[in-house]
Amino acid sequence: MMSLFGSLSRPLRRAAAALCLAALAACATATPEADRRPRSVVVDGIDIAMMAHVLNYGFTEIKDRALNEPDIGGLFMHALENLSTIDPAVGVGMKDGELLLTYADVPLPLVAAPAHGDIGSWVKTTLTAVLTLRQVSMPMKMANSESLYKAIFPPALKVLDPYSRYAGRDEAIRSRLIRDGIIGLGIRVIAAKDGVAIQSIVKNGPAENAGLKLDDLITHVDGVPLVNRPVEEARRFLEGKADTVVQLTVRRPQAPDAFSVAVRRDLVIPDTVVANTVNDILEIRIRSFNQRTAQSVEKAVLSAREAGPVKGIVLDLRSDPGGLLDQAVDLADLFLDSGTIIALRGRHPGAQQFYGAHSGDIAQGIPISVVIDGRAASASEIVAVALQDNQRAAVVGTVSLGKGSVQTVIRLPNQGEIVLTWSRAYTPRGALLHGLGVLPDVCLSGESGTLSDTVGRIFKGGGPPAELVNGWRAPPAEAQGLEELRATCPPEAHPDRALDLEGARRLVQDPALYAQARQGSARQLAEKPQ
């Protein structure tokens, strides 16, 4: 390292020395905790101690939890090469064990590359490269730590699989609001003249209950003016601990005067479930799976049964991207008396999970149809196949997305998060869900006729051809073969097509059709040998 220091400018020599101290501080916490903040070491405008902490923590979690053991050196090289997205003049390569940095094709001082799998050394090398480039590149010098994280983490995660990703602080906070709920006011704000404007508001959240409305302009928080403040800073003023009161000064469009309103912060969980009863059929639309989804579905079923007879239930999962695994398990369990819901397998011990149903079907055997389409994914696929495999529901629509992987969410010290694939989902009878998806009992791909024509054509033959059944029982390993199978009921996006919903209603109303549908091709999918 002495030879490297000797070739650098004086500011960079000081930066490199500080980086050594930051690296030592990071190494002192070999197993860093996400909420443990290291002592600040600011060099050239960035806190490199905090950056070292975030990178060490993130890449250690990736190494330990990823579905397949990752090539750590390869991940860091992809991350370093992606610095060119900040400044296209940046070049990064490797030769004879040394990191080659160039700027506008002019070589920069060499950086010794670490041992291939040594995360701590790779973090130190990465930050040395960043500090070196900040000496010659104005875009690199202007990039803050969050911009650097957004350049470093995504390309490394993209190497692993299409579903692993990085979310910065603000995006992660919004994701946690949708997924887990968050302590706050239940509003989303955007920058506006003289303050921030309410862009969306959570139904029955603290802000709505206090009388706030869409497009209200918040000008002051606890007497602090928001004019000319960045929206991120304004959001931090609105955040706070649970059960604390914040005083807002508000201007409403077309209202003559500003007014003051006190709002108590609370846990806010958006409702993702909409239910209504039509002709004794309970229709439940689920848009995603968050911390309240199973509870909301249970409430909808019990309320409908108390209000009058329910002859059938339609679970509409079309274009539902998924969400929390435990909510998918709990939702399926609501309607099952016994049986397997889903099994997960992965490299990390925590990824080995099995979920079985508990006794007690809240619908007491009422016919159920599940509607899916080509965008129904992950948690929604788990619900559909669990009810299908256990002969508790008939599935209507098109082949689903085929995202049978499960992600663990890792919160980083900067309050961003890594969503990391760590397990694969296997259906109750052992089929690998990933890449194949859920085949509906009643395929509505490409249908454009009337409901009566569609029903008559689908059920006239009494089931799918034998060769299709055999194909779904033992699908080929290669991707082309899987796509050919999926093409037998092509995945299509039908988020609001009336035919799919009408077909689901018809099934739960007609005992003969319902019985026949549940003996169709989906059972064969569940019986596929491993």
CB 101 within 8 A of CB 92: yes
For residue 378, indicate whether it is catalytic: yes
For residue 238, give the nearest of 276, 282, 188 by alpha carbon. Answer: 188
Write the CB contacts of 218 (distance below 8 Å, at least 6 apart in sequence): 189, 195, 196, 197, 198, 226, 234, 238, 248, 249, 250
For 174-311, strand residue ranges (E) read 182-184, 187-192, 195-201, 217-221, 224-225, 245-251, 259-264, 266-268, 273-278, 281-286
Torsion sign (Cα): 53, 55, 56, 62: positive
- Taking only Cα atoms into account, the Rg of the chain, rounded to an integer number of angstroms, comes to 27
Q: What is the spatial distance between Cα 220 and Cα 250, in angstroms, rounded to a whole number?
A: 7
With contact defined as beta carbons under 8 Å apart, do 194 and 200 qualify? no
Q: Is 330 a catalytic residue?
A: no
Question: Is 64 a residue of the active site?
Answer: no
Given the residues 403, 441, 500, 521, select the one marked as catalytic: 403
What whole-number distance in Å separates Cα of residue 458 and Cα of residue 454? 6
Spatial separation of the C-alpha atoms in residues 311 and 309, rounded to whole Å = 6
* CA–CA distance, 464 with 462 (Å, rounded to integer): 7
Catalytic residue among 121, 288, 369, 378: 378
Task: Pick the catalytic residue from 87, 373, 389, 441.
Answer: 389
Contact 246, 197 (CB under 8 A): no
Rounded to whole angstroms, how far apart are CA atoms 8 and 15?
A: 10
CA-to-CA distance for 297 and 385, rounded, in angstroms?
Answer: 18
Question: Residues 6 or more apart from 88 whose CB is under 8 A from it?
Answer: none
Distance CA 148, CA 52 (A): 12
**Which has the closest alpha carbon to 148: 140, 137, 156?**
140
Are 372 and 319 in contact by the 8 Å Cβ rule? The answer is: no
Instruction: Give the count of beta carbons closer than 10 Å to the beta carbon of residue 4.
Output: 17
Phi, psi (rounded to 5 degrees) for 32: -65, 145
Nearest to 385 by CA among 374, 514, 372: 372
Phi, psi values for residue 190, rounded to 5°: -130, 160
Structure tokens at 470: 């055999």
Beta strands in 417-474 (DSSP E): 417-426, 442-443
- Helix and strand numbers (H, E) in the chain are 19, 25
Contacts of 26 (CB under 8 A, 6+ apart): 32, 38, 49, 52, 53, 56, 120, 123
Query: Known catalytic residues?
Result: 378, 389, 403
